[in-house]
């Protein structure tokens, strides 16, 4: 397609210079002298015709117009006092939230399997997955409000999809939640260092207390399961699911 457009551009210039009618080949393209093209069929940078005239191509493959999607985006009119480090950190954190959401969802799907059958554990991780994806959407909305550019990254798959028990799934999730909280604290500190009160207030209002509360809840569940003898005692996970997580499902 590109070569066909180049041939039409050349035909227009040759016709306008030599004042002769345009001929088409069997493919519907202008029939141009072979000297206009190199051995690979690409247009040459210049050409000297048989009547002594010379011209330079309007464009060559190296100087083709750049698509608009590749051009740098113009500065946003709503962006004000938003440091690039804060912008990059917010983009990194909401991608981490999407990763945490995928890990929690994978745990929920595993625990709902027929050969595991821990329904209340599964709903516990489903709710957590929805919370992580909701926080990611809030951060993306914040980026739009501040006139920033949203940068998506590759979301890595969960390290494991076979957790064997509810206790192991909660331990893995606890490690991930602490990593998310560490990233959140870094974002808080960055907002303070770069004098961004709006970002700091947004994070303090929507994130800090909820993240700390969930980590505390998760640590309590892990401690209770360990004291009940899980995972060595098979009955411990089932009792905890029905008596603890089951009651919380009824409240929610």
Q: What is the pTM of this model?
A: 0.66
Of the candidates 90, 101, 74, 122, which has an alpha carbon nearest to the alpha carbon of residue 245?
122
Q: What local confidence, expressed as pLDDT, does residue 60 receive?
A: 41
Q: How far apart are CA 53 and CA 30, in angstroms?
A: 20
pLDDT computed for residue 229 by the predictor? 80
> Would you give per-residue pLDDT tens digits along the chain (252 residues)?
545 444 444 444 444 444 444 444 555 554 445 544 555 554 444 444 444 444 344 434 444 444 544 445 556 666 778 899 999 999 999 999 999 999 999 999 999 998 888 899 999 999 999 999 999 999 999 999 998 889 999 888 888 778 888 888 999 999 999 999 999 999 999 999 999 999 999 998 878 788 889 999 999 999 988 888 876 666 677 788 777 776 555 555
Question: Cα dist. 239→5, 86, 109, 233, 246 in Å?
Answer: 72, 45, 20, 11, 10
Would the CA dihedral through 127, 133, 137, 138 be positive or negative? Answer: positive
**What pLDDT was estimated at residue 54?**
44
pLDDT of residue 200: 92
The span from the CA of 90 to the CA of 28, in Å, is 53
Residue among 148, 142, 135, 145 at smallest CA distance from 95: 135
Q: Cα dist. 115→69, 109, 110, 228 in Å?
A: 49, 12, 9, 22
Alpha helices by DSSP H, listed for 146-208, are 166-193, 197-203
Joined tokens for residue 192: 């303070």
How many other C-beta atoms lie within 10 A of the C-beta of residue 132? Answer: 23
The pLDDT assigned to 129 comes to 95
Sign of the CA dihedral running 67, 68, 70, 71: positive
| DSSP 8-state assignment for residue 245 | I
């Amino acid at each position: 397609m590109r070569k066909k457009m180049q041939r039409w551009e050349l035909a227009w210039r040759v016709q306008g210079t030599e004042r002769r009618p345009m001929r088409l080949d069997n493919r519907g393209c202008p029939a141009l002298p072979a000297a206009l093209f190199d051995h690979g069929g690409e247009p040459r940078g210049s050409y000297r015709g048989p009547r002594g005239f010379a011209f330079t191509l309007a464009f060559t493959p190296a100087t083709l117009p750049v698509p608009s999607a590749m051009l740098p985006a113009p500065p946003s009119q709503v962006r004000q006092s938003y440091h690039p480090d804060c912008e990059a950190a917010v983009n990194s954190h909401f991608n981490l939230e999407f990763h945490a959401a995928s890990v929690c969802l994978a745990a929920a799907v595993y625990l709902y399997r027929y050969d595991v059958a821990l329904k209340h554990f599964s709903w516990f991780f489903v709710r957590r997955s929805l919370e992580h994806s909701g926080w990611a959407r809030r951060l993306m909305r914040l980026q739009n409000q501040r006139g920033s550019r949203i940068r998506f990254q590759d979301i890595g798959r969960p390290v494991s999809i076979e957790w064997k028990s509810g206790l192991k799934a909660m331990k893995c999730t606890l490690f991930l939640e602490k990593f998310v909280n560490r990233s959140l604290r870094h974002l808080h500190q960055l907002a303070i260092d770069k004098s961004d009160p709006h970002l700091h207030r947004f994070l303090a209002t929507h994130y800090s207390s909820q993240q700390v509360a969930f980590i505390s809840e998760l640590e309590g569940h892990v401690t209770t399961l360990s004291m009940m003898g899980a995972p060595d005692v098979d009955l411990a996970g089932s009792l905890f699911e029905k008596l603890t997580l089951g009651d919380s499902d009824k409240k929610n």
